Each structure stands twice: as structure tokens, then as C-alpha cells.
Chains A and B, each alone.
Chain A
Amino acid sequence: MSQKQVKRIFVQKEKCNGCRICELRCSFEHEGVFSPSLSRIYIHKVEEEGITIPKTCVICGKCIEACPENAISKSEKTGAISIDENKCTGRKNCVDACPYNVMSFNPSTSLAFTCDLCDGNPQCVQYCPEQALHYMTAKEFALYKRSEDSKIIKPEVIPE
């Protein structure tokens, strides 16, 4: 699959309100429990400035280069980062190498984990109440950003 056709999660940060439903849904999807520490996506927040930015894997591949065990590759089906749990020895080189802090480490399994795009149907995207997350190719996202659909809709203050 060429890089241009790969879909990944794009973020419209102006829409994110920091509710962290994405974190809850992600941990539930992958671990069957609710735990932001086990989520593959997180919201970076600076409350005093009203900053809320979703952070998740952009598939830059730095972790692939950093892994001494060659345990990390890109999924043939989705292009997502894929960690071979049989090869991962928990040395965290990938965690240190990740520029976006989205390669995480589960101390109870001693394994690294990151976004696997839910095998092509990312649940964070499905559950975001504000449509701040988009599973698209770079070109699709660029077009979307220019479209009316991407705007925040302001409702009328209609008295009942």
C-alpha cells in the first residue's frame, strides 16, 4: 500500500473539548476495561489556556527504527503500527523514540502498545461526540478541512 493511500487518524483540535470519551472507548476496545492508562489515544490538556489536543499515532515509523528486536512493523491490512508481542522484550526503546508520546508501556504485561487503528475501524473516531477525529487519507482530510462539513455548527438560541 502506498503511503498516500494509507488512512490514519487526523485530529481537528479546535473541535476537541477534552471529554476523553476516546480514551475510555479505546481502553475498553483493547483491554475490556475502562482505563485511560491503557488507551492508545490521549488528550493533552493545558486547562488554564483551554488547550485540549488529541494525541495518537501518526505512523511516523520512528518506533520501527528504534526497536532492537525488530518487533515493530506496519500492518499490511491497515498500515498501522503493529507490535509482535512474541518478539517484544519490553526494553521501551520505542517508547523513548516516539516523538508524540503515543507509544505506551503496560507494566503488567511488560509489553509496548500503540494505536492499531482497531483493524480499520477506529472506535475513538466512531465515539467522538464532536467529530474531532477523522479516519482518512491525507488527501481526504485536506479536502474535508476545506469543506463546509468540517465547520462547527452554531445552533440558533431557540426558545421552546
Chain B
Amino acid sequence: MNREISEPKGYRGKYLVVNLSDETISERECDFSIIKKFLGGRGWAINYLFENIPQGIEPLEQQNILAICLGPLTGTLAPSSARYTIASKSPLTGGIGYSNAGGHFAPELAYAGYDAIFIHGKAKKPLYLFIENEIVELRSASHLWGKDTWETDRILKEELSDKFQVLSIGQGGENLVRYAAIMNNLSRAAARTGVGAVMGSKKLKAIAVRGTGAVEIAEPDKFMEIVHETLEKIYDDPAYPNLSYYGTPFLVDLAYISGGLATRNNQTGIFEKYEEISAETFDEKYRVKSESCFGCPIHCGKYSKVETGKYAGTKGGSPEFETIVCLGSKCGVGDLAAILKANELANKFGLDTISLGDTIAFAMEAYEKGVITSEDTGGLELNWGNDDVLIQLIEMVAFRKGLGNLLAEGTKRMSEKIGGGSENFALEIKGMEPPAYDVRTAKAFGLGWATATRGADHLAALPNFELLGYEPQKGFEWFGSEKAVDPYSWEGKPRMVVWHENFGAIVDSAEMCKYTCFSAYAVKPEDMVLFINFATGWDLKPNEILDIGERIYNLERLFNLREGIKKEEDTLPKRFSHEPLPEGPAKGQFVELDKMLPEYYKLRKWDFETGIPFKSLLNELGLLKQAEKYDLICEEGD
């Protein structure tokens, strides 16, 4: 093997394979001929899952695998590079599931000397994984089972040392809530696609890691130069002061102004109690200080506290914009203290605040329309804005009590169960519930939800470009249409989404934060390639890393196709594509998905009838073998 491939810097060169069924752990050396094709993080994880998960398994059975992967920049000064990907077959969608989180866990694992952990099998009794540099052990977690993520964090730190970083599931994951999250640093969540339920099904309660080693890079001087340049771009970004001071809650204000503040299960984009959940209110009443992920100059995370009133004593990390909307305005709740409490509970139980809030909002609309009644809810009155019910339901979901047992299945399964025409307002794509921003006011985001491999997902594409008020000329230069800068326009959006999806896959695989790359485009492919090259010593070209992104995206697509997710599921709930916004500045807007999808498929080189990537493309990307194995071959012109 070529030396350059076998010994890049940046990576640690080792990973762990843990089998919970027979309680074995093996340390393996990285095969850089594979990693160079997928980079790390999300890309490496999907490749491992594609190779090792048998087709058609139930996501909560023992054959599923939990992949935890770092990237070549983890643990370095590359801005906001402390992220990691956790992937598995999703219990929510049945397709590829992955989630990406920040905090301080990923660099600690890097300093312990590992690039990834792949977890197979299922433990007989609750276990946790202990890692202290070269010492790796499976230990009993009987004393932790039943505890929430904060208690688990506290107990493990008391037993081991507060230098350990802990990743854990709460009762949500233990009880197999289909949208359970995996938490670290109390409020950092690998939340989406139900990875926490997979961890719970394996009876793995936590991973505690301590690393005292170092991360070396290939070209330190050049690396620091690009770090410097990027930091300056980040600090010069007009959105930096807001993101840095208020965190994502400032997006509540932007969503309101655009008329896309999702309200009452997206029945409207105007929330009458907007001021009570605004960034200003958050700052005046609850924000204490910033709370950063490791090595992040943006530090959008906030520490907040409720001092008085019914929810006094509530504390912890942020609520994010997504949480404020999904557990707030989508449920009609305008009491920010209640939302903070709901956020704290979701973090402690380990639940995805997006899917949780959305499923409750769906249930509230079903209650409003009489599809479910107080007989079904055990007497609970699921009225819009009822914060007492919101708080009660969260605990009922985590423990699958009463109505909570149904809510724990997510919107799609709940709708199938209750019927009564509820499919018309069951907001989900491929089984996953949608994020906060109402995409009727941002069409590229709408297309991105429909095409994202993990279901309704704003982060696969995150095409912020359309929202930043750029000059039309820039829209033409980047995406071939001056109208690309207009969020209401659908023109130029397919190209915008393809570009963002491909580059986004790289960002998630290098494990940098999307805020650094997509909020001011401080890191573009030509910058990212420098970070990767100077860290590893490789000599990749910008177009090569975009190829890696396209490869990752197509492999995820193949995974979904082989698991039976059909092209027809690249769609939007009717509420977004056929029900125009009823009021406000974006009144009349809906997502013209039919106009965008054909061009999207054409640009992707996917067959419009079947959604299968063309053979010629897969050949170029080196994915032909994977497609042939599952008979996913489609020639152009067939």
C-alpha cells in the first residue's frame, strides 16, 4: 500500500469494534483506501453500515449496528470541528439513520486514540463502554439503567473522574421511543432518526471516554494559516454577533418576520404569542451565558435558567430554535419557561425535541378535529397552548405510559393507527417529522426536505444561500439563476440543493459544523480541501472532495432503495405542497415541488421513474458493486 494512503495524519489510525452479544472488543487498524473514499464521520459510517447490516432487518433487532465516527479534523483547531456522527438503520424511517452532535465527546475519543466505534449485537444485561486511552472495557450498567442522562453523567463522573466525557441514553432510549436521542454534555443531542432507540435496543446505556493523547497534523504552519483566515471570516459574518450572543433563538425572530414561524402543526406561519418566545424575551428572562462546543468560535449554545414562576428551577443548555418552535409555537405554546422545561425534560429523557414536539402537535390537531377524543387521551385535554399537557405528555412518551405509548411511535405510525383522515395533517416524510422553519417561505429548503435521505430534514441540504439576501448576480454565478437568491422562487433551487447536499455530506464527514460552512460560507469546498490536506498530508483537489460528497449521498440513496424506500417518498406532506400559507407576509406561498423534482433528478443523474442512480454515475463514483449486489441497476435511456 502506498505510504501516503496508509499513514495520513489527522486521523488516529485505529477504531474499535464492540460486540455486545458476546462482550468482545477488538481494536482494528484503519483501512485508508476506504477512508480516503469516504473521509470519515457520516461517510465512513454509511459505508460500514451498507457493508455490514443485512438487508431487511428490523431496526430494533440485534443485527442493527450503531456506528460512531469521527473525522480527520476532530480534536484540532479547525473551527467547530468537535462533531461526530452516530448512524444506524433508523427505527423511524427504516432507511439510513444518522445524527450529528457537538459537545466535548468527539475530541476526547480522538485523544483516547480512536477514529470510530462500531457497536454490534445486543447485551444480555445493561452495559456501558469504558474507554481510558488503551483500556477499553464493557462494564455493568445495572445501576444506571432507569436513570436519566443527567443522572447517568453525574454518576459516571463521580465513579470515574470528571475528566471523562459521557454519551448516554435516557429513559426514552431504554423504552425504545422511536425518536430517542443520544446525549452528551447534558444538552448536546444526536437526536434525529431514533439512534437512541437503537442504543436502547442493544442495552448499551452509555460510553464514558477519557483520552490524554494528542492529535497531530501534517502541515502545522499551513494549517494554522487557514485556521486564521477562517476565524476572520467567521468573525466578519454579519450574522455572527446574533448567533454568538443569542444562539439559534434569534432565528425565531427571522422566521416570524418571514411569515414562516410554524404554528399549530403548521396550520399557519403567524404566531400571535411570538413576542413571548422571541430572542429578546429569551435574553431578558432566561439566558445566563454562552455554552460552547469544543473548539468553537461561534458558540451558539446557551446556558439558561428559569428563576421564578411555575417552572422555577429549570436549567441547562439552550433551547435551540428548532426546540422553541416544535415544542412551542407548533403546539400553540407561547410560554417560553414551559418550553425551557420541556427542553430540559427531553434532554434528560433523551428525546429528539423536533419529532417529539411535532408528534404532540399532530395529536393536538387530531384532538381539535375530533379524530381522537378525551376517551383516547385518558382525559387529557390536548388543546393548543396547554403547557401542562405538553409537560405531562413528554414524561408519558419517555415511559410509554397511556397515550404516550402511541406518541412514542412517531407521527406516521400514530396516524396509521388512529386513521380518521389524519394522514392529511400527519406531517412526516419517510416517517420522520419535519423541522421548525416553514418551507413554504423557503423553496430550496422544501426541496431539501423531500430529497433528504433521512426523511424530513433541514440539515442534509441546509441551503441557507436563498435566505441571505444576496444580489441576483450571485445566484446566477453559483446556481445558474438570478432567482436563486429569492426564497419564494423555485428556479435555481434544484442545483442549489444538489450542491448543498453533496458539500453537506463532506462537512458531516470531515466533522465540521454546518454553521461554519453554511451560515456565511466561511468554508467552501476549496477551503475544506485545504483543511483536510493540511491535516492529513493528502493532496485532494476541490472537485475530488465534491465527488466524495456525491459518493456518500448516492450510497445513502442506495441504502434507502435496498431497504424498500421508494422514489414516491421523495415528497412533501400536502400541507406544504398544496395548502398555501393562509396569512402574513408569505400568504399564498406553497412549495412547487412538482416543478423542482424533475430537474433535481436530472442533475443527480437518477432515473425519474424509479429514483435509481444511473449505472454510469455509480460506475464513476465506484459504487457499482454495491448497486449490483441489490439489483439496483438502471441504464440511462432504459
Contacts and interface: CB of A to CB of B under 8 A. Distances in A.
Interface of A: 14, 17-21, 24-25, 27-28, 31-38, 47-50, 52, 129-130, 153-155, 157-160
A157 B288 contact: no
Interface in B531-551: none
Interface stretch (B194-202, B211-219, B609-617): B211-219
B288 A155 contact: no
B242 A157 contact: yes
B77 A48 contact: no
Nearest to B303: A50
Contacts of A25: 77
A17 B214 contact: no
B315 A48 contact: yes
A31 B214 contact: yes
14 contacts: A17-B292, A20-B104, A28-B220, A32-B216, A32-B220, A34-B77, A36-B107, A38-B214, A50-B288, A50-B291, A52-B289, A160-B238, A160-B239, A160-B468
Interface string B294-330: 1111010101010000000001100000000000000
Interface string B238-250: 1101101110001
B88 to A, nearest CB: 27
A1 to B, nearest CB: 31
A28 B291 contact: no
B76 interface: yes
B216 A21 contact: no
Nearest to A18: B292
A155 B215 contact: no
A144 B339 CA distance: 38
Please indicate which of the listed interface residues A28, A130, A157 has the most CB atoms of chain B within 10 Å of its own CB.
A157
Contact of B299 (A17, A47, A155, A159): A17
B292 A48 contact: no
B111 interface: yes
Contacts of A35: 111, 212-215
A35 to B, nearest CB: 4
A154 B299 CA distance: 15
A127 B617 CA distance: 45
Contacts of A17: 289-292, 299, 301
A159 B257 contact: yes
A157 B297 contact: no
Interface secondary structure of A, over-half rule: loop
B92 interface: no
Given A48-B315, A154-B283, A157-B250, A33 B77 contact: no
Interface in B255-289: 257, 278-280, 283, 288-289
B214 A27 contact: yes
A129 B242 contact: no
B288 A160 contact: no
Nearest to A25: B77
B389 to A, nearest CB: 27
A33 B214 contact: yes
A24 B469 contact: no
Please provide the 8 A-B residue pairs with the shortest distance between their CB atoms, ordered closest to farther: A50-B303, A35-B214, A19-B292, A17-B290, A155-B241, A33-B214, A37-B212, A17-B292
A37 B77 CA distance: 15
Given A48-B316, A157-B280, A160-B469, A34 B288 contact: no
A25 B227 CA distance: 11
Nearest to A34: B215
Contacts of A14: 289
A19 B297 contact: yes
Interface string B83-98: 0000000000000000
A3 B316 CA distance: 41
A52 to B, nearest CB: 7
A112 B611 CA distance: 62
Given A17-B292, A160-B238, A34 B214 contact: yes
Interface residues of B, number: 55
Contacts of B299: 17, 19, 129-130
B409 to A, nearest CB: 32
B386 interface: no
A34 B535 CA distance: 11
Please indicate which of the listed interface residues B75, B294, B301, B305 has the most CB atoms of chain A within 10 Å of its own CB.
B294
Given A28-B220, A48-B150, A157-B246, A21 B253 contact: no
A34 B75 contact: yes
A14 B303 CA distance: 12
B185 interface: yes
Interface string B182-200: 0001100000000000000
B621 interface: no
A150 B460 CA distance: 40
B77 A52 contact: no
Given A19-B297, A50-B305, A33 B216 contact: yes
Given A28-B220, A31-B214, 15 more contacts: A17-B291, A17-B299, A19-B296, A24-B295, A34-B75, A34-B215, A35-B215, A37-B111, A37-B214, A48-B150, A50-B289, A50-B291, A50-B315, A160-B254, A160-B468
Nearest to B256: A159
Contacts of A34: 75-77, 214-217
Nearest to B246: A157
Given A47-B186, A155-B242, A155-B245, A19 B215 contact: no
A19 B212 CA distance: 18
Nearest to A37: B212
B293 interface: yes
A130 B290 contact: yes
A18 B76 contact: no
A158 B235 CA distance: 17
Contacts of B241: 153, 155
Nearest to B220: A32
A153 B242 CA distance: 11
A37 B436 CA distance: 40
Contacts of A20: 104, 292, 294-295
Nearest to A159: B257
B232 to A, nearest CB: 12
A35 B212 CA distance: 7
A20 B106 CA distance: 14
Contacts of B292: 17-20
A158 B77 contact: no
A102 to B, nearest CB: 15
B76 A158 contact: no
Contacts of A24: 76-77, 295
Contacts of A19: 292-297, 299
A154 B245 contact: yes
A32 B303 CA distance: 33
A36 B111 contact: yes
A109 to B, nearest CB: 13
Contacts of B257: 159
A36 B150 CA distance: 24
A132 B503 CA distance: 34
A105 to B, nearest CB: 11
